[in-house]
Amino acid sequence: MERKEQKLELLSPAGDPERLDSALRFGAGAVYLAGREFGMRAGPANFSNEELKKACLFAHEKGAKVYVTCNTLPRNGEIERLPGFLEAVEDAGADGLIVTDLGVLALAKRYAPRTEVHISTQAGIVNYQSARFFYDLGASRVVLARELSLEEIAEIRAKTDPKLELEAFVHGSMCVSFSGRCLLSNYLTGRDANRGDCAQPCRWKYHLMEESRPGEYFPVLEDDSGAYFFNSRDLCMVEHIPELAGAGVTSLKIEGRAKSAYYVAVVTNAYRQALDLYEKNPEQFVLPQWVLEEMEKVSHREYCTGFFFGNEPGQVYDNGGYVRGWEVAAVCDGYESRTAVCSQRNRFFKGETLNVLEPGRVPYEIVVKELFNHDGEPAESAPHPMETLYIPLEKPMAPGALLRRKR
């Protein structure tokens, strides 16, 4: 049976309603998010049952889908709460449930029978037989293990039912443990990574301590900065959309439910522009330089292409921090009388040049020639968080546009 070509889905993270808005505003075709339980990210605010209903309505109005993560490994004491949660997800109108545990899969088919089931990357699917097995159990999609190469993905595509969708992570943080199945956080802090509460000890700095000299810490490297043994590089595949499509990937997934709304906006917008260009002319796809530059305007570690080309992502050994070169100065709330009405996020000054990111547009620059505070009085700077500001501009600026400055 020949597989029908379909439009690639851009799947963005939504850790809370603000990040949901950013994802949809900047071009996500689908979002993944969590309720207050059973999701693999306990840090973000996530969504109550009522918020989940509103999120589904909002996304569907925008023509986007909502997938709810239910991919922790629940213990006995949590099982009794699962049926009610699953019924709430279906009642909210979610398009899919992302699950790992086989018991949860069985409950999902019983208590949310009209909702698609997607198998989480934590299930560790690295071969076509596993993908077939989950499809036979009723899954409509598998989220492939991050350790696969494009060649291996292509073989899975060729040897599975064409109706089975293949989802792959294409951007964001990488985990040094196999598909996120890690106990390091649990051992060191008591916070279970497999239940959404990872403390990320893989990002910590480590030293060597000799048993007879407690309290004396020796750097493992030749300098005194310590060593980040487990600190993986970040994934970025925005240059390789043709290869992902050629391997048969259905959905391109951006990691980051714990990341900021700004991060979600920038990365979603960049991949949206790249995808649209690819689909317009697949044979002559050339990624614009500005899209690559956008990747440097969010907080990130050194980039890599993960395992897709048969290599390994590798670690950043000399630091555990992020590259943070840019920040949001203000967000545009509206445009009236040739003036952008903005809310401040970080301090900026009259006379500064700001970089503007609007949905669906190439970023551009403006000079803040004039600046007025919330009382309409001339101002030399914007020092107050969330203050309403007025910036006269000849050309309109779209609501939700992000005004950025280099640190």
Question: Do both 13 and 79 map to the same domain?
Answer: yes
pLDDT bracket for residue 1 (50, 70, 90)? very low
Residue 214 in domain = no
Q: What is the DSSP letter of 380?
A: S
Question: Do both 383 and 238 map to the same domain?
Answer: no
pLDDT for the residue numbered 197: 67
The b/e string for 318-346 (b: 16+ C-beta within 10 A; e otherwise) is eebeeeeebbbbbbbeebeeebbbbebbe
pLDDT for the residue numbered 298: 93
Q: How far apart are CA 389 and CA 392, in angstroms?
A: 10
CA distances from 228 to 147, 172, 214, 321 (A): 21, 18, 21, 10
Question: Do both 35 and 114 map to the same domain?
Answer: yes
Question: Do both 300 and 349 map to the same domain?
Answer: no
Mean pLDDT calculated for residue range 292-303: 92
Q: How far apart are CA 308 and CA 310, in angstroms?
A: 6
188 or 394, which is more confident: 394
Containing 33, the helix (H) or strand (E) segment is strand 30-34
Residue 192 in domain = no
Q: What is the pTM of this model?
A: 0.87
Residue 186 in domain = no
Closest by CA position to 123, among listed 145, 103, 108 = 145
321 or 165, which is more confident: 165
Lowest pLDDT segment from 17-31, 98-112, 123-137, 320-334: 320-334
Q: Residue 343 maps to which CATH number?
A: 2.40.30.10
Would the pLDDT of 209 be above 80? no
Q: Which of 274, 304, 334 is the last residue of a domain?
A: 304
Residue 217 in domain = no
pLDDT bracket for residue 251 (50, 70, 90)? very high
Mean pLDDT calculated for residue range 1-5: 42
Q: How far apart are CA 94 and CA 239, in angstroms?
A: 31
Would the pLDDT of 107 be above 60? yes
Residue 188 in domain = no
Question: Do both 115 and 250 map to the same domain?
Answer: yes
Question: Do both 85 and 165 map to the same domain?
Answer: yes
CB-based burial of residue 357 (10 Å sphere; 0-12 exposed, 13-18 middle, 19+ buried)?
A: buried
Q: Which of 271, 304, 337 is the last residue of a domain?
A: 304
pLDDT for the residue numbered 213: 79
Q: How far apart are CA 89 and CA 50, in angstroms?
A: 10
pLDDT for the residue numbered 322: 72
CA distances from 40 to 100, 174, 235 (A): 10, 14, 19
pLDDT bracket for residue 2 (50, 70, 90)? very low
Q: How far apart are CA 28 and CA 213, in angstroms?
A: 54
Where helices occur in 164-288 by DSSP H, the ranges are: 184-189, 241-247, 261-280
Q: How far apart are CA 105 and CA 99, in angstroms?
A: 6
pLDDT bracket for residue 232 (50, 70, 90)? confident
Question: Do both 42 and 139 map to the same domain?
Answer: yes
- The DSSP-derived string for 214-227 is TT-EE-SSSSSS-B
Question: Do both 14 and 90 map to the same domain?
Answer: yes
Residue 228 in domain = no
Token readout for 41 is 């990210």
Token readout for 176 is 């040094």
Residue recorded with tokens 């050194």: 302
Residue 82 in domain = yes
- Sign, CA torsion 285/293/267/363: negative
What proportion of the chain, given as a percentage, has pLDDT over 70?
84
Closest by CA position to 210, among listed 221, 218, 202 = 218
- Sign, CA torsion 85/90/96/101: positive
- Structural domain of 246: 9-176+233-304
pLDDT bracket for residue 292 (50, 70, 90)? very high
Mean pLDDT calculated for residue range 87-109: 97
pLDDT tens by residue, 329-347: 999 999 999 999 999 999 9
pLDDT tens by residue, 153-165: 999 999 999 999 9
Other Cβ atoms within 10 Å of 91 Cβ, number: 14
pLDDT for the residue numbered 194: 63
Other Cβ atoms within 10 Å of 181 Cβ, number: 16
Would the pLDDT of 27 be above 70? yes
Question: Do both 85 and 14 map to the same domain?
Answer: yes
Strands 381-382 and 326-336: unpaired
pLDDT for the residue numbered 323: 76
Question: Do both 339 and 388 map to the same domain?
Answer: yes
CA distances from 194 to 39, 75, 110, 122 (A): 9, 11, 24, 9
Task: Give the chain's domain count.
Answer: 2
CA distances from 158 to 53, 122, 209, 222, 388 (A): 37, 22, 51, 49, 55
pLDDT tens by residue, 371-389: 999 999 999 999 999 999 9
Q: How far apart are CA 137 and CA 106, in angstroms?
A: 9
Would the pLDDT of 4 be above 70? no
pLDDT bracket for residue 203 (50, 70, 90)? low
Question: Do both 237 and 335 map to the same domain?
Answer: no
Would the pLDDT of 108 be above 80? yes
pLDDT for the residue numbered 68: 97
Backbone dihedral angles phi then psi of residue 404, each to the nearest 5 degrees: -115, 155
Question: Do both 62 and 163 map to the same domain?
Answer: yes
- The DSSP-derived string for 223-241 is SSS-B-TT-BPEEE-GGGH
The chain-wide mean pLDDT, for the chain, equals 89
Q: Residue 252 maps to which CATH number?
A: 3.20.20.70
Q: Please report, as a single letter, which amino acid is at residue 144.
A: L
354 or 207, which is more confident: 354
Token readout for 227 is 């060593």
Residue 219 in domain = no
